[in-house]
Protein backbone atom coordinates (compact mmCIF):
# COMPACT_ATOMS: atom_id res chain seq x y z
CA UNK A 1 0.00 0.00 0.00
CA UNK A 2 1.30 3.48 -0.88
CA UNK A 3 2.36 5.87 1.89
CA UNK A 4 -0.44 8.39 1.27
CA UNK A 5 -3.06 5.67 1.32
CA UNK A 6 -1.77 4.27 4.60
CA UNK A 7 -1.76 7.76 6.13
CA UNK A 8 -5.28 8.38 4.84
CA UNK A 9 -6.66 5.16 6.31
CA UNK A 10 -5.02 5.76 9.67
CA UNK A 11 -6.14 9.39 9.85
CA UNK A 12 -9.70 8.47 8.77
CA UNK A 13 -9.87 5.82 11.48
CA UNK A 14 -8.83 8.39 14.07
CA UNK A 15 -11.17 11.14 12.89
CA UNK A 16 -14.38 9.15 12.67
CA UNK A 17 -14.07 8.26 16.34
CA UNK A 18 -13.13 11.77 17.43
CA UNK A 19 -16.47 12.86 18.90
CA UNK A 20 -15.39 16.44 19.55
CA UNK A 21 -14.38 16.84 15.90
CA UNK A 22 -17.64 15.28 14.77
CA UNK A 23 -19.71 17.63 16.95
CA UNK A 24 -18.00 20.75 15.60
CA UNK A 25 -18.14 19.56 12.00
CA UNK A 26 -21.81 18.60 12.23
CA UNK A 27 -22.66 21.95 13.74
CA UNK A 28 -20.86 23.89 11.00
CA UNK A 29 -22.24 21.76 8.15
CA UNK A 30 -25.80 21.97 9.47
CA UNK A 31 -25.52 25.75 9.42
CA UNK A 32 -24.11 25.63 5.88
CA UNK A 33 -26.96 23.39 4.78
CA UNK A 34 -29.64 25.65 6.26
CA UNK A 35 -28.08 28.72 4.61
CA UNK A 36 -27.84 26.94 1.25
CA UNK A 37 -31.49 25.85 1.36
CA UNK A 38 -32.55 29.42 2.03
CA UNK A 39 -30.15 30.95 -0.49
CA UNK A 40 -31.17 28.72 -3.38
CA UNK A 41 -34.72 30.04 -3.22
CA UNK A 42 -33.52 33.05 -5.16
CA UNK A 43 -33.43 30.85 -8.29
CA UNK A 44 -36.84 30.23 -9.80
CA UNK A 45 -35.41 27.32 -11.81
CA UNK A 46 -32.10 26.22 -10.31
CA UNK A 47 -31.71 23.14 -12.51
CA UNK A 48 -31.93 25.16 -15.73
CA UNK A 49 -29.58 27.76 -14.26
CA UNK A 50 -27.03 25.02 -13.55
CA UNK A 51 -27.35 23.67 -17.08
CA UNK A 52 -26.73 27.13 -18.54
CA UNK A 53 -23.72 27.54 -16.24
CA UNK A 54 -22.36 24.17 -17.30
CA UNK A 55 -22.75 25.10 -20.96
CA UNK A 56 -20.84 28.33 -20.46
CA UNK A 57 -18.01 26.47 -18.70
CA UNK A 58 -18.05 23.82 -21.43
CA UNK A 59 -17.61 26.52 -24.06
CA UNK A 60 -14.86 28.18 -21.99
CA UNK A 61 -12.88 24.99 -21.38
CA UNK A 62 -13.28 23.63 -24.92
CA UNK A 63 -11.79 26.90 -26.20
CA UNK A 64 -9.46 27.49 -23.28
CA UNK A 65 -6.44 28.64 -25.29
CA UNK A 66 -8.51 31.15 -27.27
CA UNK A 67 -10.07 32.72 -24.18
CA UNK A 68 -6.83 32.78 -22.20
CA UNK A 69 -5.02 34.48 -25.04
CA UNK A 70 -7.87 36.99 -25.39
CA UNK A 71 -7.59 37.68 -21.67
CA UNK A 72 -3.83 38.20 -21.97
CA UNK A 73 -4.17 40.60 -24.91
CA UNK A 74 -6.87 42.65 -23.19
CA UNK A 75 -5.19 42.67 -19.79
CA UNK A 76 -1.85 43.73 -21.28
CA UNK A 77 -3.65 46.50 -23.14
CA UNK A 78 -4.98 47.69 -19.78
CA UNK A 79 -1.42 47.99 -18.48
CA UNK A 80 -1.22 44.71 -16.55
CA UNK A 81 1.13 41.80 -17.13
CA UNK A 82 0.24 38.15 -17.53
CA UNK A 83 2.72 35.52 -16.35
CA UNK A 84 2.26 31.94 -17.54
CA UNK A 85 3.40 29.34 -15.04
CA UNK A 86 3.65 25.76 -16.16
CA UNK A 87 4.26 24.41 -12.69
CA UNK A 88 4.68 25.31 -9.02
CA UNK A 89 8.33 26.32 -9.36
CA UNK A 90 7.66 28.74 -12.20
CA UNK A 91 4.86 30.39 -10.22
CA UNK A 92 7.03 30.70 -7.10
CA UNK A 93 9.98 32.07 -9.08
CA UNK A 94 7.74 34.64 -10.74
CA UNK A 95 6.46 35.90 -7.38
CA UNK A 96 9.96 35.96 -5.90
CA UNK A 97 11.21 37.96 -8.89
CA UNK A 98 8.55 40.62 -8.35
CA UNK A 99 9.43 40.71 -4.64
CA UNK A 100 13.15 41.07 -5.32
CA UNK A 101 12.68 43.68 -8.02
CA UNK A 102 10.74 45.79 -5.54
CA UNK A 103 12.77 44.87 -2.46
CA UNK A 104 9.55 43.71 -0.83
CA UNK A 105 9.76 42.41 2.71
CA UNK A 106 6.10 42.33 3.64
CA UNK A 107 3.08 40.88 1.82
CA UNK A 108 -0.62 40.75 2.63
CA UNK A 109 -2.57 37.92 1.06
CA UNK A 110 -6.26 37.20 0.72
CA UNK A 111 -7.79 33.75 0.40
CA UNK A 112 -6.29 31.74 -2.45
CA UNK A 113 -6.39 27.97 -2.56
CA UNK A 114 -3.88 28.04 -5.45
CA UNK A 115 -1.28 29.62 -3.16
CA UNK A 116 -1.86 26.65 -0.84
CA UNK A 117 -1.33 24.34 -3.80
CA UNK A 118 2.10 25.86 -4.51
CA UNK A 119 2.96 26.27 -0.77
CA UNK A 120 3.64 29.96 -1.26
CA UNK A 121 3.76 30.94 2.41
CA UNK A 122 6.46 28.41 3.27
CA UNK A 123 8.47 29.43 0.19
CA UNK A 124 8.40 33.17 0.91
CA UNK A 125 9.11 32.67 4.61
CA UNK A 126 12.19 30.69 3.61
CA UNK A 127 13.26 33.74 1.59
CA UNK A 128 12.74 36.00 4.63
CA UNK A 129 9.64 37.69 3.26
CA UNK A 130 6.74 38.07 5.67
CA UNK A 131 3.40 36.96 4.25
CA UNK A 132 0.25 37.48 6.26
CA UNK A 133 -3.16 35.92 5.64
CA UNK A 134 -5.91 38.54 5.78
CA UNK A 135 -9.03 36.41 5.41
CA UNK A 136 -10.14 35.81 8.99
CA UNK A 137 -10.44 32.03 8.59
CA UNK A 138 -7.05 31.84 6.87
CA UNK A 139 -5.53 34.12 9.51
CA UNK A 140 -6.77 31.74 12.22
CA UNK A 141 -5.25 28.79 10.37
CA UNK A 142 -1.97 30.61 9.86
CA UNK A 143 -1.80 31.46 13.58
CA UNK A 144 -2.38 27.80 14.36
CA UNK A 145 0.17 26.59 11.80
CA UNK A 146 -2.49 24.50 10.06
CA UNK A 147 -3.49 24.21 6.41
CA UNK A 148 -7.04 25.30 5.47
CA UNK A 149 -9.62 22.69 6.41
CA UNK A 150 -12.19 23.54 3.73
CA UNK A 151 -11.81 25.36 0.41
CA UNK A 152 -14.36 28.02 1.34
CA UNK A 153 -14.30 27.99 5.16
CA UNK A 154 -10.66 27.42 6.15
CA UNK A 155 -11.29 27.10 9.90
CA UNK A 156 -14.69 25.38 9.73
CA UNK A 157 -13.61 22.75 12.25
CA UNK A 158 -12.84 25.24 15.02
CA UNK A 159 -15.43 26.42 17.55
CA UNK A 160 -15.49 30.01 18.78
CA UNK A 161 -13.95 28.75 22.03
CA UNK A 162 -11.07 27.17 20.08
CA UNK A 163 -10.42 30.46 18.32
CA UNK A 164 -10.58 32.44 21.57
CA UNK A 165 -8.04 30.07 23.14
CA UNK A 166 -5.78 30.30 20.07
CA UNK A 167 -5.82 34.11 20.12
CA UNK A 168 -5.10 34.01 23.85
CA UNK A 169 -2.07 31.75 23.31
CA UNK A 170 -0.68 33.45 20.21
CA UNK A 171 -1.70 37.07 20.63
CA UNK A 172 -1.76 37.37 24.39
CA UNK A 173 -5.36 38.59 24.65
CA UNK A 174 -7.89 37.49 27.34
CA UNK A 175 -9.07 33.89 26.77
CA UNK A 176 -12.80 34.61 26.85
CA UNK A 177 -13.28 37.14 24.03
CA UNK A 178 -16.50 37.00 22.00
CA UNK A 179 -16.39 36.42 18.21
CA UNK A 180 -16.94 40.18 17.69
CA UNK A 181 -14.04 41.03 20.00
CA UNK A 182 -11.80 38.45 18.33
CA UNK A 183 -12.63 39.93 14.95
CA UNK A 184 -11.64 43.38 16.23
CA UNK A 185 -8.30 42.02 17.50
CA UNK A 186 -7.55 40.56 14.06
CA UNK A 187 -8.79 43.70 12.34
CA UNK A 188 -6.44 45.97 14.33
CA UNK A 189 -3.44 43.78 13.53
CA UNK A 190 -4.29 43.44 9.85
CA UNK A 191 -5.02 47.13 9.27
CA UNK A 192 -1.44 48.04 10.16
CA UNK A 193 -0.12 45.32 7.89
CA UNK A 194 -2.09 46.59 4.88
CA UNK A 195 -0.51 49.99 5.31
CA UNK A 196 3.03 48.56 5.53
CA UNK A 197 2.90 45.84 2.87
CA UNK A 198 4.67 46.46 -0.44
CA UNK A 199 2.74 43.70 -2.24
CA UNK A 200 -0.77 42.31 -2.06
CA UNK A 201 -1.49 38.81 -3.32
CA UNK A 202 -5.00 37.60 -4.10
CA UNK A 203 -6.68 34.63 -5.67
CA UNK A 204 -9.14 34.98 -8.54
CA UNK A 205 -12.68 33.66 -8.76
CA UNK A 206 -13.16 34.26 -12.47
CA UNK A 207 -10.89 35.34 -15.32
CA UNK A 208 -12.87 37.52 -17.74
CA UNK A 209 -11.60 37.07 -21.28
CA UNK A 210 -13.53 39.82 -23.09
CA UNK A 211 -12.51 42.73 -20.86
CA UNK A 212 -9.11 41.44 -19.71
CA UNK A 213 -10.23 41.53 -16.09
CA UNK A 214 -10.42 39.37 -13.02
CA UNK A 215 -13.37 38.98 -10.66
CA UNK A 216 -12.95 38.48 -6.93
CA UNK A 217 -15.80 37.78 -4.57
CA UNK A 218 -15.54 37.90 -0.76
CA UNK A 219 -17.31 38.85 2.46
CA UNK A 220 -14.71 40.67 4.52
CA UNK A 221 -13.23 43.31 2.22
CA UNK A 222 -9.76 41.92 2.85
CA UNK A 223 -9.20 40.92 -0.79
CA UNK A 224 -10.26 44.38 -1.81
CA UNK A 225 -7.70 45.93 0.55
CA UNK A 226 -4.98 43.44 -0.39
CA UNK A 227 -5.50 44.27 -4.06
CA UNK A 228 -5.62 48.02 -3.72
CA UNK A 229 -3.65 49.21 -0.68
CA UNK A 230 -0.12 47.98 -1.57
CA UNK A 231 1.57 49.43 -4.64
CA UNK A 232 1.82 46.04 -6.32
CA UNK A 233 -0.96 43.51 -6.83
CA UNK A 234 -0.23 39.92 -7.82
CA UNK A 235 -3.26 37.74 -8.56
CA UNK A 236 -2.79 34.04 -9.09
CA UNK A 237 -5.16 31.35 -10.32
CA UNK A 238 -5.50 28.08 -12.18
CA UNK A 239 -6.13 28.40 -15.92
CA UNK A 240 -9.58 26.79 -15.59
CA UNK A 241 -11.13 29.85 -13.92
CA UNK A 242 -11.85 31.40 -17.31
CA UNK A 243 -15.22 32.85 -18.33
CA UNK A 244 -15.80 34.13 -21.85
CA UNK A 245 -17.44 37.38 -20.83
CA UNK A 246 -17.96 39.79 -17.95
CA UNK A 247 -21.71 39.31 -18.58
CA UNK A 248 -21.41 35.70 -17.40
CA UNK A 249 -20.97 37.05 -13.88
CA UNK A 250 -24.73 37.74 -13.84
CA UNK A 251 -25.08 34.00 -13.50
CA UNK A 252 -21.86 32.91 -11.80
CA UNK A 253 -21.71 35.42 -8.97
CA UNK A 254 -25.08 34.44 -7.44
CA UNK A 255 -24.45 30.74 -8.17
CA UNK A 256 -21.13 30.84 -6.35
CA UNK A 257 -22.53 32.87 -3.45
CA UNK A 258 -25.46 30.53 -2.88
CA UNK A 259 -23.46 27.31 -3.18
CA UNK A 260 -20.46 28.66 -1.28
CA UNK A 261 -22.11 30.36 1.67
CA UNK A 262 -25.87 30.32 1.16
CA UNK A 263 -25.96 34.02 0.30
CA UNK A 264 -27.78 35.67 -2.59
CA UNK A 265 -24.57 37.50 -3.40
CA UNK A 266 -21.42 37.92 -1.37
CA UNK A 267 -20.75 41.27 0.25
CA UNK A 268 -17.89 42.51 -1.91
CA UNK A 269 -17.77 41.70 -5.64
CA UNK A 270 -14.92 43.41 -7.46
CA UNK A 271 -13.54 43.44 -10.99
CA UNK A 272 -9.93 44.47 -11.58
CA UNK A 273 -8.72 45.25 -15.07
CA UNK A 274 -5.16 46.42 -14.45
CA UNK A 275 -3.09 48.89 -12.43
CA UNK A 276 -4.37 52.37 -11.73
CA UNK A 277 -4.42 54.79 -14.64
CA UNK A 278 -2.66 58.15 -14.66
CA UNK A 279 -5.79 60.06 -13.70
CA UNK A 280 -6.82 57.60 -10.96
CA UNK A 281 -5.96 58.03 -7.29
CA UNK A 282 -6.55 54.49 -5.99
CA UNK A 283 -5.19 51.09 -6.91
CA UNK A 284 -1.81 49.45 -7.39
CA UNK A 285 0.92 50.87 -9.61
CA UNK A 286 1.70 47.43 -11.01
CA UNK A 287 -0.57 44.44 -11.47
CA UNK A 288 0.37 40.89 -12.42
CA UNK A 289 -1.86 37.92 -13.13
CA UNK A 290 -0.21 34.51 -12.86
CA UNK A 291 -1.98 31.78 -14.84
CA UNK A 292 -1.01 28.42 -13.42
CA UNK A 293 -1.24 25.13 -15.26
CA UNK A 294 0.36 22.73 -12.75
CA UNK A 295 -0.97 19.62 -14.57
CA UNK A 296 -4.42 21.02 -15.20
CA UNK A 297 -3.61 20.31 -18.83
CA UNK A 298 -3.63 16.61 -17.83
CA UNK A 299 -7.29 17.03 -16.94
CA UNK A 300 -7.88 18.93 -20.16
CA UNK A 301 -6.25 16.17 -22.18
CA UNK A 302 -8.56 13.53 -20.76
CA UNK A 303 -12.05 13.93 -22.30
CA UNK A 304 -13.57 11.83 -19.51
CA UNK A 305 -12.16 14.01 -16.72
CA UNK A 306 -12.20 17.38 -18.48
CA UNK A 307 -15.44 18.58 -16.96
CA UNK A 308 -13.81 18.71 -13.53
CA UNK A 309 -12.21 21.92 -14.85
CA UNK A 310 -15.67 23.56 -14.73
CA UNK A 311 -15.35 23.68 -10.93
CA UNK A 312 -15.89 27.13 -9.41
CA UNK A 313 -14.58 26.02 -5.98
CA UNK A 314 -17.81 26.67 -4.11
CA UNK A 315 -17.22 23.81 -1.66
CA UNK A 316 -20.83 22.57 -1.81
CA UNK A 317 -19.82 19.02 -2.74
CA UNK A 318 -17.69 18.83 0.42
CA UNK A 319 -20.60 19.93 2.61
CA UNK A 320 -22.94 17.17 1.41
CA UNK A 321 -20.43 14.34 1.12
CA UNK A 322 -21.00 11.58 3.73
CA UNK A 323 -17.28 10.79 3.71
CA UNK A 324 -16.21 14.42 4.25
CA UNK A 325 -18.85 14.74 6.97
CA UNK A 326 -17.14 11.96 8.89
CA UNK A 327 -13.45 12.41 8.25
CA UNK A 328 -13.21 16.20 7.64
CA UNK A 329 -10.81 18.13 5.43
CA UNK A 330 -7.28 17.52 6.71
CA UNK A 331 -7.58 13.74 6.51
CA UNK A 332 -7.42 13.81 2.71
CA UNK A 333 -3.83 15.04 2.85
CA UNK A 334 -4.43 17.16 -0.25
CA UNK A 335 -4.94 20.84 -1.05
CA UNK A 336 -8.37 20.06 -2.51
CA UNK A 337 -10.47 17.77 -0.33
CA UNK A 338 -13.93 16.22 -0.64
CA UNK A 339 -15.34 14.81 -3.88
CA UNK A 340 -13.74 17.37 -6.20
CA UNK A 341 -10.41 16.84 -4.45
CA UNK A 342 -10.70 13.07 -4.88
CA UNK A 343 -11.39 13.58 -8.60
CA UNK A 344 -8.62 16.03 -9.45
CA UNK A 345 -5.84 15.12 -7.00
CA UNK A 346 -4.64 12.04 -8.97
CA UNK A 347 -4.30 14.28 -12.05
CA UNK A 348 -2.63 17.21 -10.29
CA UNK A 349 -0.20 14.95 -8.44
CA UNK A 350 1.29 11.51 -8.75
CA UNK A 351 -1.73 9.31 -9.61
CA UNK A 352 -0.27 6.31 -7.78
CA UNK A 353 -0.17 8.27 -4.51
CA UNK A 354 -3.68 9.72 -4.69
CA UNK A 355 -5.86 7.19 -6.53
CA UNK A 356 -7.14 5.73 -3.23
CA UNK A 357 -9.22 8.88 -2.60
CA UNK A 358 -11.63 7.89 -5.38
CA UNK A 359 -12.39 4.69 -3.50
CA UNK A 360 -13.37 6.64 -0.39
CA UNK A 361 -16.86 7.28 -1.67
CA UNK A 362 -20.27 5.72 -1.25
CA UNK A 363 -21.12 6.88 -4.80
CA UNK A 364 -24.38 8.26 -3.43
CA UNK A 365 -24.29 11.08 -5.98
CA UNK A 366 -25.06 13.87 -3.47
CA UNK A 367 -22.02 15.77 -4.78
CA UNK A 368 -23.25 15.62 -8.38
CA UNK A 369 -26.71 16.70 -7.33
CA UNK A 370 -25.56 19.81 -5.47
CA UNK A 371 -22.83 20.96 -7.89
CA UNK A 372 -23.77 24.35 -9.40
CA UNK A 373 -22.11 23.51 -12.71
CA UNK A 374 -23.45 19.97 -12.84
CA UNK A 375 -20.10 18.20 -12.77
CA UNK A 376 -20.76 14.49 -12.84
CA UNK A 377 -18.60 13.95 -9.79
CA UNK A 378 -19.58 10.43 -8.83
CA UNK A 379 -19.06 9.24 -12.41
CA UNK A 380 -15.65 10.90 -12.39
CA UNK A 381 -14.80 8.99 -9.21
CA UNK A 382 -15.72 5.79 -11.03
CA UNK A 383 -13.60 6.94 -13.95
CA UNK A 384 -10.63 7.36 -11.61
CA UNK A 385 -11.22 3.90 -10.15
CA UNK A 386 -11.16 2.45 -13.66
CA UNK A 387 -7.91 4.31 -14.39
CA UNK A 388 -6.42 2.95 -11.17
CA UNK A 389 -7.28 -0.61 -12.16
CA UNK A 390 -6.05 -0.19 -15.74
CA UNK A 391 -2.80 1.37 -14.57
CA UNK A 392 -2.24 -1.40 -12.01
CA UNK A 393 -2.35 1.08 -9.14
CA UNK A 394 -4.47 -0.99 -6.77
CA UNK A 395 -2.86 -3.41 -4.34
CA UNK A 396 -1.49 -6.70 -5.62
CA UNK A 397 -3.60 -8.71 -3.17
CA UNK A 398 -6.83 -7.09 -4.40
CA UNK A 399 -5.83 -7.65 -8.03
CA UNK A 400 -5.21 -11.34 -7.27
CA UNK A 401 -8.51 -11.47 -5.40
CA UNK A 402 -10.50 -10.18 -8.37
CA UNK A 403 -8.72 -12.51 -10.78
CA UNK A 404 -9.69 -15.49 -8.61
CA UNK A 405 -13.23 -14.12 -8.26
CA UNK A 406 -13.56 -13.80 -12.04
CA UNK A 407 -12.21 -17.29 -12.64
CA UNK A 408 -14.63 -18.84 -10.14
CA UNK A 409 -17.62 -17.01 -11.60
CA UNK A 410 -16.78 -18.23 -15.07
CA UNK A 411 -16.87 -21.94 -14.08
CA UNK A 412 -19.90 -23.62 -12.57
CA UNK A 413 -17.73 -26.39 -11.15
CA UNK A 414 -15.71 -23.85 -9.15
CA UNK A 415 -18.86 -22.03 -8.02
CA UNK A 416 -20.02 -25.31 -6.58
CA UNK A 417 -16.85 -25.62 -4.56
CA UNK A 418 -17.97 -26.11 -0.90
CA UNK A 419 -16.17 -24.76 2.15
CA UNK A 420 -17.72 -21.51 3.39
CA UNK A 421 -15.07 -20.98 6.08
CA UNK A 422 -12.21 -21.26 3.57
CA UNK A 423 -13.91 -18.81 1.20
CA UNK A 424 -14.53 -16.33 4.01
CA UNK A 425 -10.88 -16.66 5.09
CA UNK A 426 -9.58 -16.11 1.55
CA UNK A 427 -11.74 -13.04 0.89
CA UNK A 428 -10.56 -11.55 4.19
CA UNK A 429 -6.93 -12.26 3.33
CA UNK A 430 -7.11 -10.74 -0.15
CA UNK A 431 -9.39 -7.75 0.41
CA UNK A 432 -9.30 -6.72 4.05
CA UNK A 433 -6.18 -4.61 3.88
CA UNK A 434 -7.41 -2.58 0.91
CA UNK A 435 -11.04 -2.30 1.96
CA UNK A 436 -10.23 -1.34 5.54
CA UNK A 437 -9.90 -3.36 8.71
CA UNK A 438 -13.22 -2.14 10.14
CA UNK A 439 -15.34 -3.21 7.17
CA UNK A 440 -17.48 -6.24 7.90
CA UNK A 441 -16.77 -8.67 5.10
CA UNK A 442 -19.36 -11.18 3.85
CA UNK A 443 -19.47 -14.62 5.42
CA UNK A 444 -19.91 -17.44 2.93
CA UNK A 445 -22.44 -20.19 3.42
CA UNK A 446 -21.14 -23.76 3.76
CA UNK A 447 -23.51 -24.77 0.92
CA UNK A 448 -22.44 -25.11 -2.71
CA UNK A 449 -23.88 -22.65 -5.22
CA UNK A 450 -26.33 -25.30 -6.47
CA UNK A 451 -27.50 -26.17 -2.98
CA UNK A 452 -27.83 -22.52 -2.06
CA UNK A 453 -29.91 -21.49 -5.06
CA UNK A 454 -32.08 -24.59 -5.23
CA UNK A 455 -34.21 -23.73 -2.22
CA UNK A 456 -34.52 -20.03 -2.96
CA UNK A 457 -38.14 -19.15 -3.71
CA UNK A 458 -37.19 -16.91 -6.66
CA UNK A 459 -34.65 -19.28 -8.21
CA UNK A 460 -35.74 -20.74 -11.49
S1 LIG B 1 -17.16 20.35 -7.93
FE2 LIG B 1 -19.03 21.56 -8.04
S3 LIG B 1 -19.84 21.52 -5.95
FE4 LIG B 1 -17.68 20.85 -5.81
S5 LIG B 1 -16.52 22.71 -5.37
FE6 LIG B 1 -16.55 22.46 -7.60
S7 LIG B 1 -18.30 23.66 -8.32
FE8 LIG B 1 -18.57 23.37 -6.11
Per DSSP, the residues of 434-451 read HH-TTS-PPPPPSS-HHH
**Which residues contact residue 247 at a Cβ distance below 8 angstroms, ignoring those fewer than 6 apart?**
none
The pLDDT assigned to 198 comes to 97
pLDDT at site 437: 78
Looking at the DSSP bridge assignments, the partners of residue 106 are 130
Atom of ligand 1 nearest to the CA of 313: 5
Could you tell me the distance, in angstroms and rounded to a whole number, from the CA of residue 40 to the centre of ligand 1? Answer: 15
Per-domain boundaries in the chain? 1-42+306-394, 45-294, 397-454
For residue 442, the model assigns a pLDDT of 83
Predicted pLDDT of residue 458: 56
Nearest Cα to Cα of residue 80 among 306, 287, 243:
287
Class for the domain spanning 1-42+306-394: mainly alpha
Q: Determine the pLDDT at residue 394.
A: 86
Q: What is the pLDDT of residues 255-304, one digit of tens each?
A: 999 999 999 999 999 999 999 999 998 899 999 999 999 999 999 999 99
Distance CA(97)–CA(116), nearest Å, equals 19
- Cβ-proximal residues to 373 (8 Å cutoff; 6+ apart), any chain: 50, 53, 54, 57, 255, 310, 311, 312
Verify whether ligand 1 is closer than 6 Å to residue 320 (CB atom). Answer: no
Give the residues of the chain that fall short of pLDDT 50. 459-460
Write down the pLDDT at residue 460: 45
Rounded-to-integer distance, Cα 125 and Cα 138, Å? 16
Topology of the domain covering 45-294: Rossmann fold (3.40.50)
Q: Which atom of ligand 1 is nearest to the CA of 314?
A: 8
pLDDT of residue 459: 46
* 206, 260 Cβ separation under 8 angstroms: no
Which residue has its alpha carbon closest to ligand 1 atom 8?
A: 314
Supply the mean pLDDT for the chain: 95
* Pocket test residue of 153, 205, 217, 311 for ligand 1, highest count of atoms within 8 A of CB: 311
pTM across the whole model: 0.93
CB of 373 shorter than 6 A to ligand 1:
yes
pLDDT at 236: 98
Amino acid sequence: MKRKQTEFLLASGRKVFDLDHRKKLNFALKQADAAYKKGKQQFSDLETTKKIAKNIKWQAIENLHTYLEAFETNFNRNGGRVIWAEDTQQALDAILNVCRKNEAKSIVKSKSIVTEEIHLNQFLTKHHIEILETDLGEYIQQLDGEAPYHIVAPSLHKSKEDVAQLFHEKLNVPPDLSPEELTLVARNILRKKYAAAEIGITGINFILADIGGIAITENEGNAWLSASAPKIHIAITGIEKILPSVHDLNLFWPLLATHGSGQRTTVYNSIYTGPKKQDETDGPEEMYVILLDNRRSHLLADPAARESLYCIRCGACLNVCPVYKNIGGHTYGTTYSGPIGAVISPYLNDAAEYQHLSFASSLCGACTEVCPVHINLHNLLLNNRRNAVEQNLISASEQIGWKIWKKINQHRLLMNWPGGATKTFLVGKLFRQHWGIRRILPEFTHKTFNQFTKNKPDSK
